[in-house]
Chains A and B, each alone.
Chain A
């Protein structure tokens, strides 16, 4: 097919413009936009696909009924009637011991027949080849996750202490599907035969066990079973099918995609600004050519075809390059992701590429098209008089088109107009603040300028004279620098300060699952081990059943939000106290019960935010079901709890009379004395059903997770920084002719190369310093807000950051600027003046 003349000329123009570097910034900005969006899209798409493929394995069947209480016979009977195979698993946390090593682990007891779909992949040693397992570990044996075995220092053949029994380690599990994206779940995982469970003695009152009934068979029968179960779901039960496997992982993935996608769009916003500036300059430089073409008989449509064609070809080229880069990036990061997810991940689909292309063209249409469209109106008369047809591509139109395009992109990525609006508003507000700060600093410069001499004076004069361009450069680069500085602040400074702010005597171990008959012995061992007056409050698992006499279900709380619904639905822990513990509990409403309160009047003390979430007020009567025993009490006080005390705290406390005679387990938080670090290990050996949670390890895990999340965000923010630099380049390119002319005039007047270079450098350094200062100031403000709101820490601005920001800005702009404008110094003045 032969291209029309317009397109052919457009392509030819593009070839020339590319060779002459005329469209480099436009192209780079496009590549960056597409690459930022597509690389994140590719990665999250791959993770999603991995999840789809693993769904079967994750479920171990076609559908699963999950419950936090034993599952009755009815679902099994129905499965049998429908001709479905069924089996079950129980999972719960407990301590595992190998030799001296003890670790809190995730245990999974599996019945014969599991998994109904898929299978485990095993190995005999960390570096041995993997093989497919059939079924589950034989009785008396156990499998450990490979990482778990490493943590425990266990080898195949070792005996592993599981509760009150010992099982022989028979193999290591290579694929740990359940670890997918579960950052906190780094505990060793153990798999063993359900028939071995009773011997462990681990299933006791108050144990937190998750029951799963797995079915598989004909699709119709599975559907029928799923529908029947859905209608008949008891409290705390949930149905999972392949399509909705691991909803928490899926939603984490969706959130990651959305968050990183939105972060990437911030760089698209900046790239859009660069595109708009570069396109405007591009159009200006083609004005004369368009006038000649109009003169030679090209109509408006032809001019539009030529320049629109060039733009379209540029868009295709930029998008293609962006996609290739994004593909290379996700390819390089794929291994990292596979390790993170704990599974092999398939290649990416083509949808992210389509999204990337969409973003590329959206940026192009919104930011580059208006000035190109304006080209078609170039008057032919301009060939005779260059002063006419002065080009004004409608700044308002450009901005409006850009904003509409941007809002569309954000809306699409955010998935909702409101979130899109919030992000757009946030970015706009940040840009505005940066612009205002930049403007104020430039204003200050005016006062200083008059006192300077020589090249510095000239350079500073340029900053203030080109104030608009300077503010744009400062704002764009400032946003990129701010993002990176903010991340550094939150990641290191805030988390370190938060950790340092924890009291020295804060507990560092939780003891869970202490049975009433062990209570006195455990207390005695702890005291003997150097723990002073350990608190071991009772804890009863309860489910909400009524409020003010009205029966309630989780769905009644849907209007109050997801959190309220989940809280009302799930089991949670009730505890009791004879008196309010000072220090981390404070009554903010009502009155805490006194020790001599009448026994028949059961009182409740509720944590204030929990009460607020569920809409409970003082005086409300709330009913619970405690494993079949009803309990109703009246809310007589609301408490504010300092959760960071790391002591056992409860949403709901019941006056002592309420839990008397109830079978409870006990929980404790202790600080292991420095001179007796093995205290809890000895405790677990003596009481095998007791579990110990190492808070130091949890904090390290929080830190590790924060680091990983920050790393992911950091990569995205580097796109933002690069986009900020592109805006800088575009702004410099826009003033290039003016700089060349001024430089030539200065040369004619006798300025040396050194003077010229200093003048240029001073201008760029000043812009860079202002951008860096602005960014540091804004980052400090945002970090301050995060410190106050999220970490509850006082705001301690670190002014060294301003110095770092200024230095980074000065370096970035100084080097870029000198490279961009080296022609100003090197070009012979006569040649430059003639050419312009």
Chain B
């Protein structure tokens, strides 16, 4: 796709609901020779249904920002509100519950559990959320990503592209309100990466989830409605 078409073009409508808010986020780490600032006073708001790309050079703080937004890490200062929940007021398990209820993930390195089959990997978030019969939904979405005939395969028996499809299915099977994608095509060749990106945006459109996509691929970023550019840990645009 040479001219990627943004799926969400417009700025958020005025009365839209805020799905994700960052307020003066800062992250510092102590090093032997002083303090290293990774993020510095980052504030923004992402509304429900938006697709936002976080872009920046390596070391600009993209992954740290993603971790803070998803509640995988805690900020040194500031606050994150995810689906209405102020993450810093929650403990580790509280943040896990918010993720279980509202968040889906896609990673650069797929992060499938090697000891579970494709179907079981996709069933996992449903099971963690307490669904009694997760198999039909998992089968359904695996069908949608084109892996109906690979349900019983283990990750090591799948190609990189297929593994990322399973990861996409796992991310969308819970109908998350927010989907975090960290360099989802970073480990794939160009052609496969493009297919995966198409699938990601297609599923996202269908589900209506808010998408936060971390990437250094400008073309992929261009398919999102908005870009947040990080430079040296600060928001540049």
Contact A296 B105 (CB under 8 A): yes
Bitwise, A632-660 to B at CB < 8 A (1) or not (0) is: 00000000000000000000000000000
Q: Is A796 an interface residue (CB 8 A)?
A: no
Bitwise, A280-318 to B at CB < 8 A (1) or not (0) is: 000000001101111111111110000000000000000
* Bound-state Cα–Cα, A292 to B101, Å: 15
- A17 touching B63 in the complex, CB below 8 Å, given contacts A297-B96, A297-B97: no
Contact B96 A294 (CB under 8 A): yes
Contact A295 B127 (CB under 8 A): no
Contact A13 B182 (CB under 8 A): no
- Nearest A-chain residue to B100, judged by Cβ: A297
- Nearest A-chain residue to B214, judged by Cβ: A384
Q: Which of B66, B103, B113, B127 contacts A292 (CB 8 A)?
A: B113
* Bound-state Cα–Cα, A297 to B124, Å: 10
Contact A299 B96 (CB under 8 A): yes
Q: Is A444 an interface residue (CB 8 A)?
A: no
Contact B97 A299 (CB under 8 A): yes
Which of B111, B125, B129 gathers the greatest number of chain A CB atoms within 10 Å? B111
- Nearest A-chain residue to B124, judged by Cβ: A296
Q: Is B14 an interface residue (CB 8 A)?
A: no
Contact A17 B115 (CB under 8 A): yes
Contact A9 B127 (CB under 8 A): yes
- Nearest A-chain residue to B108, judged by Cβ: A384
- Nearest A-chain residue to B105, judged by Cβ: A295
Contact B128 A293 (CB under 8 A): yes
B-side contacts of A300, CB under 8 Å: 92-93, 96
* Bound-state Cα–Cα, A12 to B154, Å: 13
A-side contacts of B92, CB under 8 Å: 299-300
Q: Which of B103, B107, B182 contacts A297 (CB 8 A)?
A: B103
Q: Is B198 an interface residue (CB 8 A)?
A: no
| B179-228 with Cβ < 8 A to chain A | 182
Interface residue tally on A, bucketed by range: 20 to 34
* Bound-state Cα–Cα, A8 to B97, Å: 20
Distance in angstroms from B148 CB to nearest chain A CB is 21
Bitwise, A367-388 to B at CB < 8 A (1) or not (0) is: 0000000000001110111000
Contact B116 A384 (CB under 8 A): no
- A8 touching B113 in the complex, CB below 8 Å, given contacts A297-B96, A299-B96, A380-B96: no
- Nearest B-chain residue to A20, judged by Cβ: B115
B-side contacts of A289, CB under 8 Å: 113-115
Contact B63 A385 (CB under 8 A): yes
- Nearest A-chain residue to B95, judged by Cβ: A380
Contact B66 A297 (CB under 8 A): no
Q: Is B137 an interface residue (CB 8 A)?
A: no
Contact B67 A381 (CB under 8 A): yes
Contact A381 B127 (CB under 8 A): no
Q: Is A5 an interface residue (CB 8 A)?
A: yes
* Bound-state Cα–Cα, A291 to B129, Å: 16
Contact A295 B63 (CB under 8 A): no
Q: Is A16 an interface residue (CB 8 A)?
A: yes
* Bound-state Cα–Cα, A384 to B71, Å: 12
Q: Which of B63, B71, B96, B120 contacts A298 (CB 8 A)?
A: B96
Contact B128 A5 (CB under 8 A): yes
- A12 touching B111 in the complex, CB below 8 Å, given contacts A297-B96, A297-B97, A385-B63: no
Distance in angstroms from B71 CB to nearest chain A CB is 8
B-side contacts of A295, CB under 8 Å: 70, 72, 99, 105, 111
* Bound-state Cα–Cα, A671 to B110, Å: 88
Contact B100 A296 (CB under 8 A): yes
B-side contacts of A17, CB under 8 Å: 115
Distance in angstroms from B167 CB to nearest chain A CB is 10
Contact A296 B182 (CB under 8 A): no
- A383 touching B93 in the complex, CB below 8 Å, given contacts A12-B116, A297-B129, A298-B100: no
- A383 touching B115 in the complex, CB below 8 Å, given contacts A5-B127, A5-B130, A299-B97: no
| B101-160 with Cβ < 8 A to chain A | 101, 103, 105, 107, 111-116, 120, 124-125, 127-130, 156
Interface residue tally on B, bucketed by range: 20 to 34
Q: Is B73 an interface residue (CB 8 A)?
A: yes
Distance in angstroms from A547 CB to nearest chain B CB is 76
* Bound-state Cα–Cα, A292 to B63, Å: 16
* Bound-state Cα–Cα, A300 to B93, Å: 6
* Bound-state Cα–Cα, A379 to B130, Å: 22
Which of B98, B116, B156 gathers the greatest number of chain A CB atoms within 10 Å? B116
B-side contacts of A296, CB under 8 Å: 99-100, 105, 124-125, 128, 170
| A10-25 with Cβ < 8 A to chain B | 12-13, 16-17, 20, 22
A-side contacts of B105, CB under 8 Å: 295-296, 383
Contact B67 A384 (CB under 8 A): yes
Distance in angstroms from B132 CB to nearest chain A CB is 8
| B28-71 with Cβ < 8 A to chain A | 63, 66-67, 70-71
Bitwise, A673-698 to B at CB < 8 A (1) or not (0) is: 00000000000000000000000000
B-side contacts of A381, CB under 8 Å: 67, 72-73
B-side contacts of A299, CB under 8 Å: 92-93, 96-97
Contact A302 B72 (CB under 8 A): no
Distance in angstroms from B118 CB to nearest chain A CB is 13
* Bound-state Cα–Cα, A325 to B77, Å: 60
A-side contacts of B99, CB under 8 Å: 295-297, 380
A-side contacts of B130, CB under 8 Å: 5
B-side contacts of A291, CB under 8 Å: 111
Distance in angstroms from B58 CB to nearest chain A CB is 13
A-side contacts of B127, CB under 8 Å: 5, 8-9
* Bound-state Cα–Cα, A631 to B55, Å: 111
* Bound-state Cα–Cα, A13 to B93, Å: 22
Contact B111 A16 (CB under 8 A): no
* Bound-state Cα–Cα, A301 to B105, Å: 21
* Bound-state Cα–Cα, A296 to B131, Å: 14
Distance in angstroms from B65 CB to nearest chain A CB is 11
A-side contacts of B113, CB under 8 Å: 289, 292-293
Contact B115 A297 (CB under 8 A): no
Contact B128 A297 (CB under 8 A): yes
Contact A302 B67 (CB under 8 A): no
Which of B72, B92, B130 gathers the greatest number of chain A CB atoms within 10 Å? B72
- A292 touching B111 in the complex, CB below 8 Å, given contacts A301-B93, A384-B63: yes
- Nearest B-chain residue to A377, judged by Cβ: B92
* Bound-state Cα–Cα, A291 to B70, Å: 13
* Bound-state Cα–Cα, A116 to B182, Å: 89
- Nearest A-chain residue to B170, judged by Cβ: A296
B-side contacts of A297, CB under 8 Å: 96-101, 103, 125, 128-129
B-side contacts of A22, CB under 8 Å: 115
* Bound-state Cα–Cα, A294 to B97, Å: 9
* Bound-state Cα–Cα, A5 to B111, Å: 21
Q: Which of A288, A302, A385, A835 contacts B128 (CB 8 A)?
A: A302
* Bound-state Cα–Cα, A20 to B114, Å: 10
A-side contacts of B129, CB under 8 Å: 297
- Nearest B-chain residue to A835, judged by Cβ: B156
- Nearest A-chain residue to B117, judged by Cβ: A16
A-side contacts of B125, CB under 8 Å: 296-297
A-side contacts of B128, CB under 8 Å: 5, 293, 296-298, 302
* Bound-state Cα–Cα, A13 to B120, Å: 11
Distance in angstroms from A526 CB to nearest chain B CB is 84
B-side contacts of A288, CB under 8 Å: 111
User: Apart from A22-B115, A298-B96, A298-B128, what 5 extra A-B contacts exist at CB < 8 Å?
Assistant: A291-B111, A293-B124, A294-B96, A296-B170, A300-B93
Binding site for A on B (CB under 8 A): 63, 66-67, 70-73, 92-93, 96-101, 103, 105, 107, 111-116, 120, 124-125, 127-130, 156, 170, 182
Ordered nearest first, which 10 A-B pairs have the shortest CB separation? A297-B100, A299-B93, A16-B115, A297-B99, A380-B72, A296-B125, A289-B113, A381-B72, A299-B96, A381-B73
11 A-B residue pairs with Cβ-Cβ distance under 8 Å, sorted by A, are A9-B127, A289-B115, A294-B96, A295-B70, A296-B105, A297-B97, A297-B100, A300-B92, A383-B72, A383-B107, A384-B107
Binding site for B on A (CB under 8 A): 5, 8-9, 12-13, 16-17, 20, 22, 288-289, 291-302, 379-381, 383-385, 835
